[in-house]
Structure 1
Amino acid sequence: MFTIEATYRVPFYRQTTYIADNFKQALAFALEDDRWDSPKQAVTDRTTYLTRAWEGVAAFEGRALPIPDDLSNERRGKGSYTHLEMEAALCVWECINDWTVNAPDGKGDQRWHELREGVGSVQMRHASIPLGQWCLEVYDICTSADKNFFDTIAYDWEVIPLILSHCVDSDGCPFIEPASFPDPDKAAGAVMAAHRSNYELGEKLGLTPVCEGC
Protein backbone atom coordinates (compact mmCIF):
# COMPACT_ATOMS: atom_id res chain seq x y z
CA MET A 1 0.00 0.00 0.00
CA PHE A 2 1.09 3.56 -0.66
CA THR A 3 0.04 6.94 0.70
CA ILE A 4 0.02 9.75 -1.90
CA GLU A 5 -0.23 13.46 -1.14
CA ALA A 6 -2.01 15.36 -3.92
CA THR A 7 -3.17 18.97 -4.03
CA TYR A 8 -4.89 21.45 -6.28
CA ARG A 9 -4.56 25.20 -6.20
CA VAL A 10 -7.43 27.32 -4.93
CA PRO A 11 -6.96 30.98 -5.88
CA PHE A 12 -8.72 33.76 -3.99
CA TYR A 13 -9.36 37.22 -5.31
CA ARG A 14 -10.75 40.56 -4.25
CA GLN A 15 -12.04 43.53 -6.23
CA THR A 16 -11.18 46.83 -4.57
CA THR A 17 -11.49 50.42 -5.80
CA TYR A 18 -8.59 52.74 -4.98
CA ILE A 19 -8.44 56.53 -5.21
CA ALA A 20 -5.11 57.25 -6.89
CA ASP A 21 -3.44 59.88 -9.06
CA ASN A 22 -2.67 57.34 -11.78
CA PHE A 23 -2.87 53.67 -12.69
CA LYS A 24 0.66 52.85 -11.47
CA GLN A 25 -0.10 54.30 -8.07
CA ALA A 26 -3.33 52.30 -7.89
CA LEU A 27 -1.37 49.11 -8.59
CA ALA A 28 1.06 50.02 -5.81
CA PHE A 29 -1.86 50.53 -3.43
CA ALA A 30 -3.24 47.10 -4.36
CA LEU A 31 0.10 45.42 -3.65
CA GLU A 32 0.44 47.13 -0.28
CA ASP A 33 -3.17 46.39 0.71
CA ASP A 34 -3.19 43.50 3.20
CA ARG A 35 -6.94 43.55 3.86
CA TRP A 36 -8.18 40.08 2.96
CA ASP A 37 -11.20 39.99 5.25
CA SER A 38 -13.73 38.86 2.60
CA PRO A 39 -11.90 37.29 -0.35
CA LYS A 40 -13.78 35.38 -3.03
CA GLN A 41 -12.84 31.88 -4.06
CA ALA A 42 -12.24 31.24 -7.75
CA VAL A 43 -11.57 27.59 -8.54
CA THR A 44 -10.48 27.80 -12.16
CA ASP A 45 -7.98 24.94 -12.27
CA ARG A 46 -8.60 21.48 -10.87
CA THR A 47 -5.23 20.14 -12.05
CA THR A 48 -3.92 17.54 -9.61
CA TYR A 49 -0.43 18.20 -8.27
CA LEU A 50 1.41 15.12 -6.98
CA THR A 51 3.62 16.44 -4.19
CA ARG A 52 4.81 13.62 -1.91
CA ALA A 53 4.38 9.89 -1.38
CA TRP A 54 5.20 7.21 1.18
CA GLU A 55 5.04 3.44 1.44
CA GLY A 56 2.33 2.19 3.76
CA VAL A 57 -0.99 3.45 5.06
CA ALA A 58 -0.03 6.83 6.54
CA ALA A 59 1.99 9.89 5.60
CA PHE A 60 5.48 10.16 7.15
CA GLU A 61 5.30 6.68 8.68
CA GLY A 62 6.64 4.67 5.76
CA ARG A 63 9.63 5.17 3.47
CA ALA A 64 9.36 8.38 1.43
CA LEU A 65 9.11 7.83 -2.33
CA PRO A 66 10.09 10.42 -4.96
CA ILE A 67 7.50 11.45 -7.53
CA PRO A 68 8.85 10.46 -10.98
CA ASP A 69 9.70 13.42 -13.19
CA ASP A 70 7.33 12.35 -15.96
CA LEU A 71 4.34 12.35 -13.62
CA SER A 72 5.57 15.33 -11.66
CA ASN A 73 6.00 17.53 -14.73
CA GLU A 74 2.83 16.33 -16.43
CA ARG A 75 0.56 16.92 -13.46
CA ARG A 76 2.25 19.86 -11.74
CA GLY A 77 3.37 21.72 -14.80
CA LYS A 78 6.97 21.84 -15.99
CA GLY A 79 8.93 24.47 -14.11
CA SER A 80 6.43 24.50 -11.25
CA TYR A 81 7.64 23.79 -7.72
CA THR A 82 6.00 23.26 -4.35
CA HIS A 83 6.50 25.57 -1.40
CA LEU A 84 8.72 22.98 0.28
CA GLU A 85 10.87 22.62 -2.83
CA MET A 86 11.27 26.39 -3.12
CA GLU A 87 12.23 26.66 0.54
CA ALA A 88 14.76 23.83 0.25
CA ALA A 89 16.32 25.34 -2.89
CA LEU A 90 16.69 28.71 -1.15
CA CYS A 91 18.28 27.03 1.87
CA VAL A 92 20.67 25.13 -0.40
CA TRP A 93 21.69 28.34 -2.19
CA GLU A 94 22.20 30.08 1.15
CA CYS A 95 24.34 27.19 2.33
CA ILE A 96 26.46 27.18 -0.83
CA ASN A 97 27.06 30.90 -0.40
CA ASP A 98 28.03 30.36 3.24
CA TRP A 99 30.50 27.67 2.22
CA THR A 100 32.00 29.74 -0.59
CA VAL A 101 31.70 33.51 -1.03
CA ASN A 102 30.42 34.41 2.46
CA ALA A 103 32.89 32.33 4.45
CA PRO A 104 35.83 34.04 6.17
CA ASP A 105 39.24 33.13 4.76
CA GLY A 106 39.98 29.50 5.46
CA LYS A 107 36.56 28.85 7.03
CA GLY A 108 34.59 27.71 3.98
CA ASP A 109 34.41 24.38 2.18
CA GLN A 110 37.29 24.23 -0.27
CA ARG A 111 35.72 21.60 -2.55
CA TRP A 112 32.47 23.57 -2.95
CA HIS A 113 34.51 26.73 -3.50
CA GLU A 114 36.57 25.07 -6.24
CA LEU A 115 33.42 23.73 -7.90
CA ARG A 116 31.83 27.17 -7.90
CA GLU A 117 34.98 28.69 -9.35
CA GLY A 118 34.92 26.06 -12.08
CA VAL A 119 31.28 26.13 -13.19
CA GLY A 120 30.27 29.67 -12.19
CA SER A 121 27.69 31.10 -9.84
CA VAL A 122 24.81 30.90 -12.33
CA GLN A 123 25.11 27.14 -12.74
CA MET A 124 25.49 26.70 -9.00
CA ARG A 125 22.35 28.75 -8.40
CA HIS A 126 20.41 26.69 -10.94
CA ALA A 127 21.73 23.50 -9.33
CA SER A 128 20.17 24.59 -6.04
CA ILE A 129 16.77 23.48 -7.36
CA PRO A 130 17.52 19.76 -7.95
CA LEU A 131 19.82 19.76 -4.91
CA GLY A 132 16.93 21.09 -2.83
CA GLN A 133 14.63 18.38 -4.17
CA TRP A 134 17.24 15.73 -3.33
CA CYS A 135 17.63 17.17 0.17
CA LEU A 136 13.85 16.92 0.64
CA GLU A 137 13.92 13.25 -0.36
CA VAL A 138 16.64 12.57 2.20
CA TYR A 139 14.81 14.66 4.81
CA ASP A 140 11.58 12.70 4.32
CA ILE A 141 13.43 9.41 4.74
CA CYS A 142 15.17 10.64 7.90
CA THR A 143 11.87 11.75 9.43
CA SER A 144 9.73 8.85 8.19
CA ALA A 145 9.98 6.98 11.50
CA ASP A 146 10.21 10.06 13.72
CA LYS A 147 8.85 13.33 12.36
CA ASN A 148 10.63 15.17 15.21
CA PHE A 149 14.04 13.69 14.38
CA PHE A 150 15.58 17.08 13.53
CA ASP A 151 13.69 19.16 16.09
CA THR A 152 16.82 20.03 18.05
CA ILE A 153 18.45 21.90 15.14
CA ALA A 154 17.39 24.62 12.69
CA TYR A 155 16.14 23.52 9.28
CA ASP A 156 17.75 26.29 7.21
CA TRP A 157 21.24 26.62 8.63
CA GLU A 158 21.75 23.18 10.19
CA VAL A 159 19.52 20.46 8.69
CA ILE A 160 19.94 21.38 5.01
CA PRO A 161 23.72 21.93 5.33
CA LEU A 162 24.03 18.58 7.09
CA ILE A 163 22.14 16.80 4.31
CA LEU A 164 23.90 18.72 1.53
CA SER A 165 27.30 17.80 2.98
CA HIS A 166 26.48 14.20 2.03
CA CYS A 167 25.83 14.96 -1.65
CA VAL A 168 29.44 14.10 -2.44
CA ASP A 169 31.50 11.25 -3.89
CA SER A 170 33.85 9.00 -1.92
CA ASP A 171 36.55 11.68 -2.05
CA GLY A 172 34.22 14.39 -0.74
CA CYS A 173 33.77 16.14 -4.10
CA PRO A 174 30.27 17.64 -4.48
CA PHE A 175 27.65 16.56 -7.00
CA ILE A 176 25.40 19.11 -8.70
CA GLU A 177 24.02 17.01 -11.58
CA PRO A 178 20.91 14.98 -10.62
CA ALA A 179 22.12 11.89 -12.48
CA SER A 180 25.10 11.74 -10.12
CA PHE A 181 23.27 12.31 -6.84
CA PRO A 182 23.84 9.62 -4.19
CA ASP A 183 21.07 7.18 -3.40
CA PRO A 184 18.71 9.03 -1.00
CA ASP A 185 18.29 5.99 1.27
CA LYS A 186 22.05 5.54 1.71
CA ALA A 187 22.54 9.27 2.19
CA ALA A 188 19.76 9.34 4.79
CA GLY A 189 21.51 6.61 6.77
CA ALA A 190 24.72 8.65 6.82
CA VAL A 191 22.87 11.86 7.70
CA MET A 192 21.03 10.23 10.60
CA ALA A 193 24.26 8.75 11.95
CA ALA A 194 25.98 12.14 11.73
CA HIS A 195 23.07 13.90 13.44
CA ARG A 196 23.01 11.39 16.30
CA SER A 197 26.78 11.76 16.70
CA ASN A 198 26.51 15.57 16.78
CA TYR A 199 23.68 15.36 19.29
CA GLU A 200 25.58 13.00 21.59
CA LEU A 201 28.69 15.19 21.40
CA GLY A 202 26.62 18.27 22.17
CA GLU A 203 25.10 16.58 25.22
CA LYS A 204 28.54 15.60 26.52
CA LEU A 205 29.78 19.17 26.13
CA GLY A 206 26.57 20.66 27.46
CA LEU A 207 25.99 22.43 24.13
CA THR A 208 23.28 22.45 21.50
CA PRO A 209 24.71 20.29 18.69
CA VAL A 210 25.54 22.15 15.49
CA CYS A 211 26.39 20.37 12.26
CA GLU A 212 29.81 20.72 10.72
CA GLY A 213 29.98 23.35 8.00
CA CYS A 214 27.01 25.43 9.24
Structure 2
Amino acid sequence: MTTAFIFDFDGTLVDSKQAIYQCFKSITKQLAPERIDYAKNILIGPPLRDTASEILGQENQNLLDKFVQLFIQMHDEKVIQHTQPYPNVVSTLELLHKKQIPMAIATNKRKVPTQKLISFFNWNKYFKYIECSDSQKGIRNKGTIIKDIINQSSFFKGCYFVGDTRHDAVSANQNRCKFIQALYGYGINEDWHQIQIYKKIEKINDILELLDS
Protein backbone atom coordinates (compact mmCIF):
# COMPACT_ATOMS: atom_id res chain seq x y z
CA MET A 1 0.00 0.00 0.00
CA THR A 2 1.17 3.52 -0.76
CA THR A 3 2.47 5.36 2.28
CA ALA A 4 0.29 7.86 4.11
CA PHE A 5 -0.16 11.56 3.41
CA ILE A 6 -0.08 14.49 5.82
CA PHE A 7 -1.39 17.75 4.38
CA ASP A 8 -0.90 21.36 5.32
CA PHE A 9 -4.24 23.20 5.17
CA ASP A 10 -4.11 26.86 4.07
CA GLY A 11 -2.24 27.18 0.78
CA THR A 12 -2.38 23.43 0.14
CA LEU A 13 -5.95 22.15 0.46
CA VAL A 14 -7.83 25.44 0.76
CA ASP A 15 -7.31 29.03 -0.34
CA SER A 16 -8.23 31.43 2.47
CA LYS A 17 -5.88 34.19 1.34
CA GLN A 18 -8.64 36.73 0.78
CA ALA A 19 -10.14 36.38 4.25
CA ILE A 20 -6.78 36.40 6.01
CA TYR A 21 -5.38 39.42 4.19
CA GLN A 22 -8.61 41.35 4.70
CA CYS A 23 -8.31 40.75 8.43
CA PHE A 24 -4.61 41.60 8.57
CA LYS A 25 -5.09 44.87 6.69
CA SER A 26 -8.18 45.95 8.59
CA ILE A 27 -6.64 45.34 12.02
CA THR A 28 -3.29 46.88 11.11
CA LYS A 29 -5.04 49.98 9.80
CA GLN A 30 -6.79 50.25 13.15
CA LEU A 31 -3.84 49.52 15.47
CA ALA A 32 -0.67 50.47 13.59
CA PRO A 33 -1.48 52.15 10.24
CA GLU A 34 2.19 52.91 9.57
CA ARG A 35 2.74 49.13 9.23
CA ILE A 36 0.06 48.55 6.57
CA ASP A 37 2.57 47.59 3.86
CA TYR A 38 3.78 44.74 6.06
CA ALA A 39 0.21 43.49 6.46
CA LYS A 40 -0.33 43.56 2.69
CA ASN A 41 2.76 41.49 1.91
CA ILE A 42 3.17 39.15 4.89
CA LEU A 43 3.54 35.42 4.22
CA ILE A 44 0.48 33.37 5.14
CA GLY A 45 1.31 30.13 6.90
CA PRO A 46 3.27 30.74 10.12
CA PRO A 47 1.43 30.72 13.47
CA LEU A 48 -0.91 33.69 14.00
CA ARG A 49 1.01 35.17 16.91
CA ASP A 50 4.31 35.07 15.01
CA THR A 51 2.73 36.71 11.97
CA ALA A 52 1.00 39.39 14.04
CA SER A 53 4.28 40.17 15.79
CA GLU A 54 6.06 40.59 12.46
CA ILE A 55 3.32 42.85 11.10
CA LEU A 56 3.34 45.10 14.16
CA GLY A 57 7.11 45.44 14.35
CA GLN A 58 9.24 45.78 17.45
CA GLU A 59 7.82 49.20 18.30
CA ASN A 60 4.24 47.92 18.60
CA GLN A 61 4.62 44.65 20.51
CA ASN A 62 2.40 46.02 23.27
CA LEU A 63 -0.49 45.69 20.78
CA LEU A 64 0.15 42.02 20.03
CA ASP A 65 -2.55 40.54 22.27
CA LYS A 66 -5.10 43.02 20.93
CA PHE A 67 -4.16 42.20 17.33
CA VAL A 68 -4.58 38.46 17.93
CA GLN A 69 -7.91 38.98 19.69
CA LEU A 70 -9.30 41.11 16.87
CA PHE A 71 -8.07 38.67 14.23
CA ILE A 72 -9.76 35.73 15.91
CA GLN A 73 -13.07 37.58 16.13
CA MET A 74 -12.98 38.87 12.56
CA HIS A 75 -11.51 35.83 10.81
CA ASP A 76 -13.79 33.25 12.40
CA GLU A 77 -16.83 35.18 11.20
CA LYS A 78 -15.59 35.37 7.59
CA VAL A 79 -13.75 32.09 7.18
CA ILE A 80 -16.45 30.06 5.42
CA GLN A 81 -17.65 32.62 2.89
CA HIS A 82 -14.09 33.54 1.88
CA THR A 83 -12.43 30.10 1.79
CA GLN A 84 -12.58 27.61 -1.07
CA PRO A 85 -10.87 24.27 -1.76
CA TYR A 86 -8.29 24.42 -4.51
CA PRO A 87 -9.27 22.75 -7.80
CA ASN A 88 -9.25 18.94 -7.74
CA VAL A 89 -8.85 18.74 -3.95
CA VAL A 90 -12.20 17.05 -3.32
CA SER A 91 -11.76 14.42 -6.04
CA THR A 92 -8.19 13.74 -4.90
CA LEU A 93 -9.17 13.27 -1.26
CA GLU A 94 -12.05 11.04 -2.31
CA LEU A 95 -9.81 8.80 -4.40
CA LEU A 96 -7.21 8.46 -1.64
CA HIS A 97 -9.98 7.70 0.83
CA LYS A 98 -11.42 4.99 -1.42
CA LYS A 99 -7.97 3.42 -1.62
CA GLN A 100 -7.84 3.45 2.20
CA ILE A 101 -4.69 5.52 2.26
CA PRO A 102 -4.25 7.12 5.70
CA MET A 103 -4.46 10.92 5.66
CA ALA A 104 -3.99 13.64 8.26
CA ILE A 105 -3.86 17.43 8.46
CA ALA A 106 -1.09 19.36 10.22
CA THR A 107 -1.77 23.09 10.27
CA ASN A 108 -0.75 26.24 12.08
CA LYS A 109 -4.35 27.39 11.73
CA ARG A 110 -6.36 27.35 14.94
CA LYS A 111 -8.72 24.49 15.72
CA VAL A 112 -11.99 26.47 15.66
CA PRO A 113 -11.82 27.82 12.08
CA THR A 114 -10.14 24.65 10.79
CA GLN A 115 -12.84 22.37 12.13
CA LYS A 116 -15.50 24.84 10.99
CA LEU A 117 -14.25 24.50 7.43
CA ILE A 118 -13.68 20.74 7.61
CA SER A 119 -17.27 20.26 8.78
CA PHE A 120 -18.64 22.67 6.17
CA PHE A 121 -16.85 20.78 3.37
CA ASN A 122 -17.81 17.42 4.93
CA TRP A 123 -14.19 16.29 5.03
CA ASN A 124 -14.01 14.68 8.48
CA LYS A 125 -14.35 11.20 6.95
CA TYR A 126 -11.10 11.65 5.01
CA PHE A 127 -8.69 12.32 7.86
CA LYS A 128 -7.44 10.06 10.62
CA TYR A 129 -6.07 13.10 12.47
CA ILE A 130 -6.69 16.84 12.19
CA GLU A 131 -4.00 18.54 14.25
CA CYS A 132 -3.93 22.33 14.66
CA SER A 133 -1.55 24.66 16.45
CA ASP A 134 -3.88 24.77 19.47
CA SER A 135 -5.33 21.24 19.37
CA GLN A 136 -3.41 20.45 22.52
CA LYS A 137 -2.50 22.52 25.56
CA GLY A 138 0.05 25.12 24.48
CA ILE A 139 0.76 26.34 20.95
CA ARG A 140 2.80 23.91 18.83
CA ASN A 141 4.87 24.62 15.75
CA LYS A 142 4.45 22.64 12.53
CA GLY A 143 7.37 20.32 13.25
CA THR A 144 5.94 19.32 16.61
CA ILE A 145 2.47 18.84 15.11
CA ILE A 146 3.86 16.45 12.50
CA LYS A 147 5.84 14.60 15.15
CA ASP A 148 2.73 14.19 17.29
CA ILE A 149 0.81 12.69 14.35
CA ILE A 150 3.62 10.22 13.67
CA ASN A 151 3.73 9.27 17.34
CA GLN A 152 -0.01 8.56 17.30
CA SER A 153 0.18 6.21 14.33
CA SER A 154 3.06 4.36 12.72
CA PHE A 155 1.25 4.67 9.36
CA PHE A 156 2.63 8.20 9.10
CA LYS A 157 6.29 7.37 9.72
CA GLY A 158 8.19 8.31 6.57
CA CYS A 159 5.00 9.53 4.91
CA TYR A 160 4.51 12.19 2.25
CA PHE A 161 3.94 15.70 3.58
CA VAL A 162 2.24 18.09 1.16
CA GLY A 163 2.74 21.78 1.91
CA ASP A 164 3.43 25.13 0.31
CA THR A 165 5.89 27.04 2.52
CA ARG A 166 9.55 26.73 3.40
CA HIS A 167 8.53 26.19 7.02
CA ASP A 168 6.41 23.24 5.90
CA ALA A 169 9.42 21.76 4.14
CA VAL A 170 11.79 22.23 7.07
CA SER A 171 9.24 20.69 9.43
CA ALA A 172 8.73 17.72 7.12
CA ASN A 173 12.48 17.20 6.70
CA GLN A 174 12.98 17.28 10.48
CA ASN A 175 10.50 14.44 10.80
CA ARG A 176 11.94 12.45 7.89
CA CYS A 177 8.82 12.89 5.80
CA LYS A 178 9.06 13.18 2.02
CA PHE A 179 8.15 16.81 1.29
CA ILE A 180 5.92 17.60 -1.68
CA GLN A 181 5.90 21.31 -2.60
CA ALA A 182 2.55 22.75 -3.70
CA LEU A 183 3.70 25.36 -6.21
CA TYR A 184 0.22 26.90 -6.36
CA GLY A 185 0.30 27.89 -2.66
CA TYR A 186 1.51 30.89 -0.71
CA GLY A 187 5.24 30.19 -0.38
CA ILE A 188 6.38 30.15 -4.01
CA ASN A 189 8.50 33.31 -3.61
CA GLU A 190 10.35 32.14 -0.50
CA ASP A 191 14.02 31.16 -0.55
CA TRP A 192 14.00 27.45 -1.35
CA HIS A 193 17.76 26.96 -1.53
CA GLN A 194 19.12 24.03 0.49
CA ILE A 195 15.61 22.69 1.09
CA GLN A 196 15.06 18.99 0.45
CA ILE A 197 12.06 18.56 -1.86
CA TYR A 198 10.85 15.12 -2.91
CA LYS A 199 8.42 16.33 -5.57
CA LYS A 200 6.95 19.60 -6.87
CA ILE A 201 3.31 19.73 -7.94
CA GLU A 202 1.40 22.29 -9.99
CA LYS A 203 -1.98 20.97 -8.80
CA ILE A 204 -3.03 18.73 -5.94
CA ASN A 205 -4.02 15.74 -8.09
CA ASP A 206 -0.41 15.45 -9.26
CA ILE A 207 0.20 13.49 -6.04
CA LEU A 208 -1.84 10.65 -7.53
CA GLU A 209 1.20 9.83 -9.66
CA LEU A 210 2.75 8.48 -6.46
CA LEU A 211 0.11 5.81 -5.95
CA ASP A 212 0.91 2.17 -6.43
CA SER A 213 -0.17 0.93 -9.82
Q: What's the TM-score, normalizing by structure 1?
A: 0.27
Higher CA-based Rg: 1
Q: What's the TM-score, normalizing by structure 2?
A: 0.27
